[in-house]
């Protein structure tokens, strides 16, 4: 495997800086930093479903061609949590061997609540990305590094609102981001309810910022497009990710059909009409099977059932 890697590095087209043109990176680093503050509840299960799909797609790409795709995930609200890797002394997971959590596990991880420590989380995500790069590159033999292999570093920060609890300032974040960009980090800022002026103050350029509607449909569209962009960038198919790439790839999404309830607040089986008596041709009551605490479609509790 090592001989094949070195051979492929010596027989490829290179740009004027010696970098490989159109070739997969030797290692693709991806850092995801996602807002899970209370207001993100408006997006329902979209973050859960789409992050699950993103990880599955990256794992498929990594295992198919034995490519080293590294991933880290941080969530933030009033506090910041390093989700993947779980071990605090690690900085990223290898998607070739990583076990993707289930939808139910992700739903718990992304459960909304709290305030928005945007700047603190953003800075921590950049620090972890930097350490992941240093650790993985240190493992590469000098003979391979002498061939100037290609690496990609993608940083995705997503929020639905302004910072309201960070210790760090917007200037602190901007300084860190500008330093990261000089070191080859490709940033991408996914935001809702954030002004263009503030985005620029944070250090993001217009072509690396994409706005989404903080709804199930809006977040689904944005994360589907982001998944496609990360896959292209991690494969070497594109050298940059910009907001135009995302908006062109945002297909319409049909939101899930909301559950129907009878006059007693009992969930009804979709498509079977109204009423509560199956014997009279009406809908089928799900009272005995309904979960009164959580609705997996909308990510919130349905109307309470009437107690007799």
Reading the block at residue 223, the tokens are 């994360």
Last residue of a domain, one of 205, 224, 248: 248
166 and 214, same domain (yes or no): yes
Q: Which residue has the tokens 């500008």?
A: 178
pLDDT digits (tens, 9 = 90+) for 212-221: 999 999 999 9
Percent of the chain with pLDDT over 90: 69
Phi, psi of 260 (to 5 degrees): -100, 145
The pLDDT mean for the chain works out to 82
List of E strands, the chain:
27-35, 68-76, 80-84, 93-94, 151-159, 185-191, 209-211, 260-261, 267-268
Question: If DSSP codes are grouped into helix, strand and coil, which group holds residue 185?
Answer: strand
DSSP state of 110: T
Q: What angle separates helix 216-235 from helix 46-64, to the nearest 10 degrees?
A: 20
| Count, residues in the chain | 308
For range 115-130, the mean pLDDT = 98
Q: Model pTM?
A: 0.76
Token couple for 213: 């509607």
Whole-number pLDDT of residue 23: 84
Residues 273 and 217 in one domain: no
Quote the tokens at residue 244. 């135009």
- pLDDT given for residue 103 in this prediction: 96
For residue 11, being part of any structural domain is answered with: no
pLDDT category, 247, cuts 50, 70, 90?
low
Q: Which residue has tokens 């292209």?
A: 232
Report the C-alpha gap between 267 and 286 in whole angstroms.
6
Q: Which class for 307: exposed (0-12), middle (13-18), buried (19 or more C-beta within 10 A)?
A: exposed
The yes-or-no verdict on residue 288 having pLDDT over 60 is no
Residue 254 falls within a domain, yes or no? no
Residues 297 and 160 in one domain: no
User: Same structural domain for residues 227 and 264?
Assistant: no
| More confident of the two residues 6 and 227 | 227
CB-based contacts of 13: which residues, under 8 Å, 6+ apart? 20, 21, 22
Show which of 248, 268, 291 is a domain's final residue. 248
Query: pLDDT tens for residues 47-95?
Result: 999 999 999 999 999 999 899 999 999 999 999 999 999 998 999 999 9
pLDDT recorded at residue 267: 54
Is residue 210 helix, strand or coil? strand
- In a domain, residue 16? The reply is no
**Residue 10 domain-assigned (yes or no):** no
Is position 295 within any domain?
yes
Answer yes or no: do 240 and 304 share one domain: no
For 113-175, the DSSP string reads -S---HHHHHHHHHHHHHHHHHHHHTTS-HHHHTT---EEEEEEEEESS---S-SS-HHHHHH
| Residues 239, 186 share a domain | yes
If you average pLDDT over residues 262-277, what whole number do you get? 49
* pLDDT value of residue 226: 95
Based on the fold, state whether residues 201 and 269 are members of the same structural domain: no
Query: pLDDT at position 244, please?
Result: 72
- In a domain, residue 46? The reply is yes
231 and 268 within one domain: no
How sure is the predictor about 202, in pLDDT bands with cuts at 50, 70 and 90? very high
133 shares its domain with 276: no
**Model pLDDT, residue 209:** 94
Domain shared by 215 and 288, yes or no: no
Tens-digit pLDDT profile for residues 2-38: 333 333 333 344 555 555 556 899 999 999 999 999 9
Instruction: Judge whether 223 lies within some domain.
Output: yes
The per-residue pLDDT for 243 is: 72
Phi, psi of 181 (to 5 degrees): -65, -35
Q: Is residue 255 part of a domain?
A: no
- Overall domain count for the chain: 2
Host domain of residue 176: 25-248
Q: What does the pLDDT read at residue 242?
A: 79
Write out the DSSP string of 283-296: PPB-TTT--SS-BT
DSSP 298: T
d(CA 52, CA 276): 36
pLDDT tops 50 at residue 256: yes
Q: For residues 198-212, give the mean pLDDT.
A: 94
The two beta strands, 260-261 and 267-268, are: antiparallel
Helix 170-182, helix 118-137: angle, nearest 10: 20
Distance CA 58, CA 92 (A): 14
Give the pLDDT of residue 219.
96
Residues 284, 241: one domain?
no
CB 73 within 8 A of CB 54: no
Residues 132 and 196 in one domain: yes
CATH number of the domain within which 33 lies: 3.40.50.410
CA–CA dist 83, 291 (Å, integer): 27
252: CB partners within 8 A, 6+ apart: 221
């Amino acid at each position: 495997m090592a001989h094949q890697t070195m051979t492929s590095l010596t027989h490829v087209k290179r740009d004027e800086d010696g970098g490989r043109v159109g070739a997969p990176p030797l290692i693709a680093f991806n850092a995801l930093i996602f807002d899970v503050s209370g207001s993100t509840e408006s997006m329902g299960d979209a973050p859960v479903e789409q992050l699950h799909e993103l990880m599955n797609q990256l794992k498929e790409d990594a295992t198919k061609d034995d490519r080293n795709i590294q991933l880290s995930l941080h969530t933030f609200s009033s506090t910041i949590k390093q989700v993947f890797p779980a071990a605090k002394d690690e900085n990223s997971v290898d998607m070739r061997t990583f076990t993707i959590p289930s939808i139910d596990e992700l739903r718990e991880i992304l459960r909304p609540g709290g305030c928005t420590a945007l700047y603190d989380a953003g800075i921590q995500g950049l620090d972890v990305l930097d350490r992941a790069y240093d650790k993985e590159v240190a493992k590469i033999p000098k003979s391979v590094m002498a061939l100037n292999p290609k690496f990609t570093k993608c940083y995705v920060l997503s929020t639905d609102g302004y910072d309201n609890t960070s210790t760090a300032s917007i200037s602190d974040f901007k300084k860190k981001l500008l330093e990261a960009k000089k070191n080859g980090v490709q940033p991408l800022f996914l935001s809702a309810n954030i002004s263009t002026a503030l985005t620029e103050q944070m250090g993001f350029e217009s072509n690396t910022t994409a706005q989404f509607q903080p709804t199930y449909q809006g977040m689904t569209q944005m994360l589907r497009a982001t998944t496609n962009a990360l896959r292209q960038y991690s494969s070497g198919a594109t050298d940059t990710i910009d907001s135009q790439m995302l908006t062109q790839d945002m297909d319409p999404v049909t939101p899930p059909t909301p559950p129907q309830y009878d006059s007693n607040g009992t969930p009804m089986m979709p498509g079977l009409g109204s009423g509560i008596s199956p014997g009279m041709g009406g809908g089928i009551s799900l009272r005995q099977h309904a979960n009164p605490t959580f609705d997996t479609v909308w990510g919130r509790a349905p109307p309470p059932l009437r107690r007799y």
